[in-house]
Structure 1
Amino acid sequence: MKVFELHFNPKGKEDTIFDSFCYEPINIDEKKLGSLYMAGELKNVLPQNYKLLEDLSSQIKKEYYRTFSRSPEKALIESLKKGNEFLEKLTKEGDVSWLGNLNFAVISLKDYLFQFTKVENILVFLLRGGKITEITENLIREEIEPYPLKVFGNIISGKLSEDDILLILTKEVSEIFQNENLLEDLASLETFTEKKLKELLWKKEKILKEVSGIALLIALTKEPPTFKERIPKLFEFEMEKFSLPRRISEVILWGFIAALSPIKTLILKISRLIKLPALPVLKIPRFQLLRFEKTRKNLILVLIFALVLIIGFYLFQFQEKREIAKIEKNFIQIQEKNQKAENFLILKNYQEANLLFLETWGELSSIEKTLPESEKALNFKNEILVLKGKVESSLSKLNNLIKIEEPELLFNFSQTKLAPQKMVKIGGKLYFFNPATENLFWIDIFKKTGEEIKTERKFNFAQPLNSNSIIFFSKPDILTVFTEPNQFSESKIELPAGDFDFIDFKKFYSNFYLLDKKQGEILKCSLQKCQPWFSKESSKKPENAISLAIDGSIWILNKGDTINRYWGGLYQETLKFDIFPKLEKPTKISIPPTLPYFYILEPAKNRILIIKKSGSPSQVFGEKIWEGEVIKQFQSDKFDNLKDFAISEDGRTIWLLNSLILYQVPLISR
């Protein structure tokens, strides 16, 4: 892999700064997370913001490589949160000049798998096999925990191939590259080399002298660069310099060591020449209170100050005792509540027991946060933690939380060309696709083998049509019917007027339903036409919707722990589940046609939940559960990057797509 940082006329515009930042792993731990690349531009810059790009990239890089137990995608999400916090802090301090003027892109890359996000007017192109794709048009929705100020948001995920080229361009450079056919010239190269890149740029010398901005080029060449190729090379257009392939981490590291060497020598020489003076002997004068009025006043002030300190100390001790006494009183009440929950458990009133245990857990967590820092409080904290552990154990059993140490691995996509994001099941096969790239991949769930299917179109959503067909939806308005083994037919559907951003697509009988995020609308579609589903009389439309499921009613999964139910175009009710751990960031809901359960995916807590919809308490897979509560929830440390899931027709097997791994989870022991 080679990285080329092309900086065009850095001083071309007085009110604009730009820079690129490339971090390569320098040890075994960092190699687990791969490389991190950033490019940014700040317009209408003020003097106090000349280092903003550097400071922002430093915050992101520091968090990205802070710990090595996370996946690259998780590391990127956490580092973007830090970026948001950094920018939010600037805003709170009154610096809002960067708002609307910052263009910034971040890419993480490991083993051909990449994640990417961007802010404002900066573009990313993928050059592959002579084709040019602007991948910023296909954002995969990976929600990052919101902040009051959220600059970095959604990310793109995908898998690169050998000889692919990723190109990050600021707006002005992008326009030149497109107008002067530089993108086409780069994409048409049979073999990419540094020499050919230079030749292409020199041909456009005159026009490139007029442009100001960045082109960050990442070429996935087969052979790794030699040590010499890692040293920065420069070539000039008169006074303008273009920095070419470099391994930033190595250059900075060796430069830093070289710079410190003479400083170290100088310090040693100076230390030998300079002798530190001995400490002087201090003589404390005797106070003569009767003769020196000034001294007497000073002594009085000292005594008053000492008295204030003593009073403050005792007041602090008194206040701390009051706080601990109050906490002890609350703790006794919590213990009584916990005992009531235990009694309900003995009486097999599981629903009441669950509610009381949840209240106990919340109150214990609240007390734990408010404890003062003292030895007595520390001893008291141990009692809280012991009770909290017991409550957690009871809640885990009541909420059927099953932790899986080693889930069954069905297939690994690392040797394929696809980085799957979504999946759909028909018959004995699972089909996988990525909205950012073409092609499908199917897996036989019995033989555990698979094969790629070439496609010309990218697909956003999919639903099973029958036992051997799938219907795909491609934004904004294309339906594609796939019939095994390799037959495709397309049709364009007519949409009502409006600016839609569809986030989910489900089939029910012969109709299809599209969930829109912007207007909170649901469209009911045939193969030819879509129309609004909501009645004008409906009292409530979806807000903060995430996903939908249909069983006659339409169920809308919201951000947080609620689900809205609609029927006949009208709002009916909102369900809120008392679940442990609390449902906070779900991403998908599904209802199998023959089963009365919700299946809900929550990647943030590494789990999938199965919840009873309605009806009286019943026997499910040999266990008694009550209405609206959890039948099963499966959680594993291996589920660290959940993307999608599929369910068997009888509901007894779940397939979970986690990054490049497909897991199979049986709901009952085999």
Structure 2
Amino acid sequence: MEKIIPKTVSIQTKTKSLDRTIISFCEPPLYFLFEIKGRNPYFDTLTHKIIQSVKEGGSNFEDSLKKTNEMLADIAKGGQTEWIGNLSAIIVQIRDHELNLTSLGDASCFLIRNRNITEITAEQPEKTEPLHTFAHILSGELKENDKLIIGNREFFENFPIGQLNQLLHSYTEPDGSLKIQEAATSVVRRLQKQRAKSPNAFLVELKKGSESPQTACEIFYIDHKPSPQLAKRFSRWFEHPMWHWKLPPFISKNKQKILIALSILIILTLIFEITSIINKRRGTTLTQGQRKIIMQAEDKNREAGEALKKGEKETAKKLYQEALNLIAPIKNKETDSLATKINLQLDKLNEVSRVTPKEVLDFSVFKNASVSQIFVIGQDIYSVDTKTNQIYQNRKNPNFLPQNSGHFVAGTFQAQDNLLLLYQDAEGLYEYKIDDNTLKKAKIVFDEKWQKATILGSYFNNIYLLNPEEGQIFKYQKLTTDYSKGLSYVDQEKVNLKNAISMSVDGYIWILKKDGTVLKLMGGRPLTDFSLKGIPETLKLQNPVKIFTTVDTPTLFILDGNRVLEFDKSGKYLKTFILNLADIKDLWVDFKAKKIYLLSGTKVYEIKI
């Protein structure tokens, strides 16, 4: 028996509907027609997932639909349910003389055999569970010269099947074969006359032959031509009396040139507008490769959800990240929506809070204020102006450092005596006593000079000055009145501080380096069993700024760009705050009050821990 070969044309619209998603796809032996009420970026992905699932099922149509229904049930469980009750679809498989068909909703399929018409779509139940979306299958035998008409509701509303049958008969040869291209052209013309918006259909003719079925059907677009009235409108416009006014003598000779110039300008403007519209559409239209990538990302997202149900958090994190990496190069509403959902899941898994800090103070009340560091003591926020040496307490200016002391470099708080220790680049250390608002220069025994430093720390009576250029920390002890001579604290053969950018002291000395590594020093040597660990891949330190802890603060806080990461003191990752704030220069943590303070520009912000 000779094979039955389908010859197919697809009737579509290029312009996307504003109130529904319509997809026609033909890849013999399979034909798909989908219509989903509403415009949701996910609907395109859903239809392509169905297509992919059926294609992967192979020749066994029933098994393919069973797997597709299981996939749809999983999608619904994952929260994507807007398509339920809004989907109309037909899936047709033609293999030689065998026809298999499943349908849902308002889409229809008719068989025309010897001018007799038979509808071969089954009546659908009012409600369908996702697991039984494509549960009704019709099968039958096809014969040569049979014709199938597959269409959405709008197609048959504009072209009733009886009239369509008559039209097809008028294009049928004596041997029963159909002039399918000519018939399709006639159908399209009628739909254009009726100004149908979104009719979609397949015309399929079955012929005997030995060749393989074509890999793609010929497409006829209803809206592919510009309106034939456009040229007439232009000609009428130019015949309008406005073009026949009497011009002044010095212009009348150039009337023709003026009209030509205006015509060219109008045409160029129209071309520009049309090109802009086309480019916008191209920018939102996905290639087949991009669609497959999005489908892969959706699959990984679903797999991650399944892993979470099993308690496999690390597997879920990995799958979510792989999904994000897949869609990262594709920028449109659909991928943005998917990325947002995945990031929400990753935030939960990674203990991430996205926060908009609250402004609590602005030092710009002081003219040309320039601040680089804050100290939060009780209810008061202190800072030092790096240009004028003024000491700020909230919105007051209670004191200032001597002008001959140089410029403010760095400071630290010494809780035991309630002092701010302020380092100036020319004269070294000054003590600002908060209780009585007094300021004095800190002296070293035998009037020795303070070592150069850019970072300070303190622990009870000990002061630590870090000079990254020298790769050394100098330790000073407070005596009865003065400070002891500075001693080199670190073993430079054991530890490299050249790239240190921040230091905090709670008995141990914590050093933050430019590359994001943290050293825990004791007796001038690093503890080799310490490192930061458990940081999620997407939260690795990239722009570290400061490390903060105190004797009374049980955890470590690291400012990294617009993020604050928290670790326990063994280095284990705890949580991250992602801040809706840029150019953060400093932070201070009041753990008892459960607040983090942040300095950006001249403004101080706070968030709750």
User: TM > 0.5 between the two?
Assistant: no
Q: Shorter-chain TM-score category?
A: 0.3 to 0.5
- TM-score w.r.t. structure 1 length? 0.41
- TM-score w.r.t. structure 2 length? 0.45
